[in-house]
Chains A and B, each alone.
Chain A
């Protein structure tokens, strides 16, 4: 037991020294080293890694751990107080919000999701909500199905079985993907609905993957597969030779996820974003809008255990939605910065963190 005590004491001593070092270095924004933990969305994970690297270079003592667990875990662990910042592609549900009124959903950036396919020889492919719903329900099983052929008159489709890939972990990507399916396909809306995890119908040959990285690896390894992958992985998707599908939007146009189409969707929603900022940008009316666009959220409990922690969280989040929204961070992951109106709403929410 002596060793235990000694170790504990040296640990405490180390902590004291560390905080002293922090105090002597107060010239910078942070006074005391407060370790923060971010966990959740694998779509936000690459951006958070870049943010934390840049932020801690400017703010010595800002220790922020980033982990990629999935939006479901990000939301749940933030509510339980296991982590400080839950990263999520999905806002907190109404029922969870009612149970935990102090939990905020704060947009940090605008993201979108691509539907990617591994089809040897096919360069351009149009897909729609009903087609994808059919694929993931097991009703459309071959690539040359009449429904897919009708959407792609000029493409020679292989008669191969489709391998649908879905997420295994609770995921914001699943949330926005199934929201698109539910919004555009009545059958899906009435049976499977949407959520961070849904009850995927049984399809022979389907693959479950963990995280966006797992989706990408599985799609790249399996010809004739289709997968939904967060836009932050677009560069890796392209270098793996996967195709990106143009998706049918509400106005009836097939659109690819580009800066213009994503902006069109975001602008159509910016002004109607409520004060708690929980709003869907899926399948909006704008004629040129890409249908799977979403806010990337920080899910944060407004009552933090200590004021120093609250201050560190506020400082980091404010930095993220201002300097962190600079093109140097955004273009790399194909995100878009928040519109000014939304930045103001997010600032107001960040100020509530105590």
Chain B
């Protein structure tokens, strides 16, 4: 009985969060939300939606090759001391609070490199954040490919890249894609590493990677809720709803399709 109550207490806040955000978020929905930019603390969210998409896109473009490459090394050739060390340091990076990464990027990219608040700084920071996830999930996925497949491929005279790209990666593709999707969900929901790297812009992207700040959805959530007027709160809830929708949809989808493997 008590245990059932505990489960209820655990699950209830999630349902309440989803309920509160959905009700308030949906009531703020309109076509304008997607077609107009933010003006001050009102207007639409087009710039923020685009900004979040761009930051996520470029972070993934940087992180996916790095993370999958590192995962290949760890799974295929990294069963030694060096591999363990990389694995340990990768876990340390995963455990590093994201605000520490944001602070690092602010001093390095924004101030020292003189990039200013920018897409490049934001995307690189998020990439650093998600690379270790991608690497470890790729490693786990590749490890589940039976060794007989590797041995068969090598016996046929296949080279390392052929074995990895033609045999192992295809066999483990669902796991790798899962990892990439989870990393994508993380980058959509992050705030702390962006506060001092992305800045904020009321306009859509002008094509510059540096010296041009970008908006993002989580900024709207945490700053506009502090504004006193109702329309700012409505925007904050609408942004929270969008972010939550993406994150939950990805996570539910992933869990429903890859039931057997447990990554997180």
Contact = CB atoms under 8 A, between A and B. Distances in A.
Nearest to B211: A305
B29 to A, nearest CB: 23
A45 B40 contact: yes
Contacts of B199: 37, 39, 67, 82
A227 B110 CA distance: 34
B226 A35 contact: no
A81 interface: yes
Given A213-B228, A217-B226, A82 B207 contact: no
A67 B229 contact: no
Interface string A230-243: 00010010001000
B213 A65 contact: yes
List the 7 closest pairs (A to B, CB-CB), nearest first: A11-B207, A49-B40, A15-B207, A65-B202, A213-B227, A213-B228, A236-B228
Interface of B: 39-41, 58, 61, 110-111, 114, 116-117, 199-203, 205-209, 212-213, 223, 226-229
Contacts of B58: 4
Q: Which secondary structure dominates where chain A touches chain B?
A: helix
Nearest to B213: A37
Contacts of A18: 206
A193 B220 CA distance: 35
Nearest to B195: A69
16 contacts: A4-B61, A11-B208, A14-B206, A15-B206, A35-B203, A35-B206, A45-B41, A49-B40, A63-B202, A63-B203, A65-B202, A65-B213, A68-B41, A68-B227, A213-B227, A236-B228
Contacts of B200: 39, 65, 67
Given A4-B61, A65-B213, A213-B228, A15 B208 contact: yes
B228 A53 contact: no
A314 to B, nearest CB: 20
B201 A37 contact: yes
B19 to A, nearest CB: 22
A236 B202 contact: no
A65 B223 CA distance: 15
Contacts of A158: none
